[in-house]
């Protein structure tokens, strides 16, 4: 709520600042408040007046009192930060090297939260906390110079957001939190956290307990998490794990987005001790999009991180969309959907490879796994390579109506597609009755769609095309527009929404059989899960995240 003790003088000063910046900076046409110390002092009415001490806590208080919010940032002494942007505004002062929180080893200013201090609360609409504005040009989270750190086990969160249209950007957050570094949730009046943006430019690193970001409650909708790093720091190559999940979405929240279609939207989820990159949980949690992110790698996309899994959908979350992500080198399954989680779409992801799309960074178990209850999932146009236990797993009789289409699956240990324990209604793959360099033919369920694949090692690296089987006899025949890409051929059948395993592969007439496919070797330090049986009985630890056995 708005605090009644705020001074009218502070508001008057902010009104002057607003009139200055409205004309020159249309993107941030609000008052701008410059934090000039890392001290976490109790707010005082004189704080953040021109020429006075301005703490982050006081800046948030002032911004919350201002109609339409304000922009909170810092400018830096150019003798310390070479690309520092100038201070702009009456009496604004930079953060300097003589500040008590300055760390010369990292060139960062560290605000250490007072013991038992409340989080920075965004309870009014429209506050922007953006420390990127002090650096020109800003290139990535590596340019973050302002740090918020908690210790002593007395802090639930660093930031709590319970209102609309706020932003937190350009901050590194470290330390110990009972729940999460940033929380977005419903407020006492039920208005929820709506249309907020976390990022770009935040770093969640060296978090010894708690999650990075938690989004919860039915009224919290339309929020975005973009352009952040989790579990890495420095230039983006130094692993600094969070304790639990990088992002945890739960309790009926809806229509939130992690990542996006552009490179600037990309989050890099590199390392966690007990958790995953993104966890989506609960039967009322719905319409969550996870798009364009990197999981299990550092900011180069080429070196391994350390996650239990990349993405976990669990406990009946509904209509999750997982698209165009890179998911690599996790200890267990790369993407995993558990329980009665319905209508999940997994599309266009690269699972088990580095950012170049070629180098193997396989996950320790399957690339993609649907286990014990997912229904009506669509898994299509993914590249699934180099994963230790197999490409795609669908397990459990309650896992039904799950469709696979046009996935490129190759070089996985344990097989390309494993459908077990009565999953997908035990739909049988097609039989192949004839084949040569010009065609492949066989029989399957009447009217089923047959997809044809070729691969150098008996998996499904290249999608050749599809054909619909005869509606009465189930016979089918497929001819490629040119030559098959590889001499080893295989097929799947799809009856409505349900897809089979791959058929037994065949070698085109006259071709030499290819040697048995190799089992990918885990990255150094990764134990992996060599047997499918082990995956189904992984021990659970902490907030539903698992550890490798």
DSSP states along 282-304: -TT-B--EEES-EESB-TTSSSB
Q: How far apart are CA 268 and CA 266, in angstroms?
A: 7
Q: What is the largest CA-CA distance in the chain?
A: 89
Burial classification of residue 304, based on how many CB atoms lie within 10 Å of its CB (0-12 exposed, 13-18 middle, 19 or more buried): buried
Q: What is the CA radius of gyration of the chain?
A: 26
Q: How far is CA 183 from CA 158, 178, 274, 411, in A?
A: 8, 11, 19, 41
Could you report the per-residue pLDDT of 75-99, keeping only the tens digit for each? 999 999 999 999 988 889 999 999 9
Query: Is residue 195 helix, strand or coil?
Result: coil
For 191-227, the pLDDT digits (tens) are: 999 999 999 999 999 999 999 999 999 999 999 999 9
pLDDT at 529 over 80: no
Average pLDDT of the chain, as a whole number: 89
Residues 406-420 have pLDDT tens digits of 999 999 999 999 999
Report the distance separating Cα 229 and Cα 4, nearest Å.
37
| Position 532 pLDDT exceeds 60 | no
State phi, psi for 132 to the nearest 5 degrees: -70, -25
Q: According to the CATH classification, is domain 431-507 in 2.60.98?
A: no
What is the secondary structure of 200-241 as a DSSP string? SS-EEEEEEEEEEEEEESTT-BS-EE-S-EESEETTTTEE--
Phi-psi region of 80 (alpha: psi -120 to 50; beta: other; left: phi over 0): alpha
Residue 76's alpha-carbon distances to 37, 102, 144, 530, in angstroms, are: 11, 11, 11, 51
In the chain, what percentage of residues exceed pLDDT 70? Answer: 87
Token pair of 232 as six digits: 């890495």
For the chain, the domains span: 8-156, 431-507
* Neighbouring C-beta atoms of residue 283, cutoff 10 Å: 14
């Amino acid at each position: 709520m708005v605090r009644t003790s705020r001074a009218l003088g502070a508001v008057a000063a902010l009104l002057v600042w607003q009139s200055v910046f409205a004309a020159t900076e249309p993107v941030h046409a609000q008052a701008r408040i410059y934090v000039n110390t890392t001290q976490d002092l109790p707010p005082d009415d004189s704080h953040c007046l021109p020429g006075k001490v301005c703490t982050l806590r006081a800046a948030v208080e002032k911004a919350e009192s201002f109609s339409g919010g304000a922009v909170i940032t810092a400018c830096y002494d150019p003798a310390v930060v070479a690309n520092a942007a100038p201070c702009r505004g009456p009496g604004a002062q930079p953060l300097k090297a003589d500040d008590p929180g300055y760390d010369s080893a990292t060139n960062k200013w560290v605000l250490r939260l007072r013991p038992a201090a409340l989080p920075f609360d965004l309870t009014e609409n429209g506050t922007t906390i953006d420390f990127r504005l002090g650096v020109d040009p800003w290139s990535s989270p590596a340019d973050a110079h302002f740090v918020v750190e908690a210790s002593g086990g007395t802090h639930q969160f660093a930031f709590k957001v319970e209102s609309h249209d706020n932003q937190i950007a350009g901050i590194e957050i470290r330390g110990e939190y009972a729940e999460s570094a940033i929380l977005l949730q419903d407020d006492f009046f039920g208005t929820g956290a709506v249309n907020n943006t976390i990022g770009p430019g935040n770093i969640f690193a060296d978090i010894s307990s708690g999650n990075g970001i938690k989004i919860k409650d039915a009224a919290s909708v339309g929020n975005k998490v973009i352009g952040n790093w989790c579990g890495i720091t420095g230039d983006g190559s130094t692993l600094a794990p969070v304790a639990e999940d990088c992002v945890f979405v739960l309790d009926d929240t809806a229509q939130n987005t992690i990542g996006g279609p552009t490179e600037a939207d990309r989050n890099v989820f590199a390392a966690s001790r007990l958790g995953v990159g993104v966890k989506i949980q609960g039967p009322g949690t719905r319409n969550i999009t996870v798009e364009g992110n990197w999981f299990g790698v550092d900011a180069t996309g080429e070196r391994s991180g350390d996650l239990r899994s990349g993405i976990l959908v669990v406990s009946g979350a509904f209509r999750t969309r997982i698209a165009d992500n890179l998911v690599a080198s996790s200890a267990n399954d790369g993407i995993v959907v558990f329980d009665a989680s319905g209508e999940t779409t997994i599309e266009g992801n690269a699972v088990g490879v580095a950012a170049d799309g070629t180098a193997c960074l396989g996950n320790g178990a399957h690339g993609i796994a649907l286990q014990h209850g997912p229904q009506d999932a669509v898994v299509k146009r993914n590249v699934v390579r180099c994963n230790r236990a197999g490409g795609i797993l669908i397990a459990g009789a309650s896992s039904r109506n799950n469709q696979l289409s046009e996935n490129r699956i190759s070089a996985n240990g344990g097989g390309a597609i494993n459908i077990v324990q009565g999953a997908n209604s035990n739909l049988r793959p097609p039989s192949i009755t004839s084949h040569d360099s010009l065609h492949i033919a066989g029989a399957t369920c009447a009217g089923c769609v047959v997809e044809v694949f070729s691969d150098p090692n008996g998996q499904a690296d290249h999608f050749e095309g599809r054909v619909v089987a005869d509606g009465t006899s189930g016979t089918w025949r497929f001819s490629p527009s040119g030559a098959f890409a590889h001499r080893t051929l295989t097929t799947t059948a799809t009856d409505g929404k349900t897809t089979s395993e791959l058929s037994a592969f065949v070698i085109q007439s006259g071709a030499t059989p290819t040697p048995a496919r190799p089992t990918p070797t885990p990255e150094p330090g990764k134990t992996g899960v060599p047997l499918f049986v082990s995956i189904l009985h992984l021990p659970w630890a902490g907030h539903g995240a698992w550890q490798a056995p």
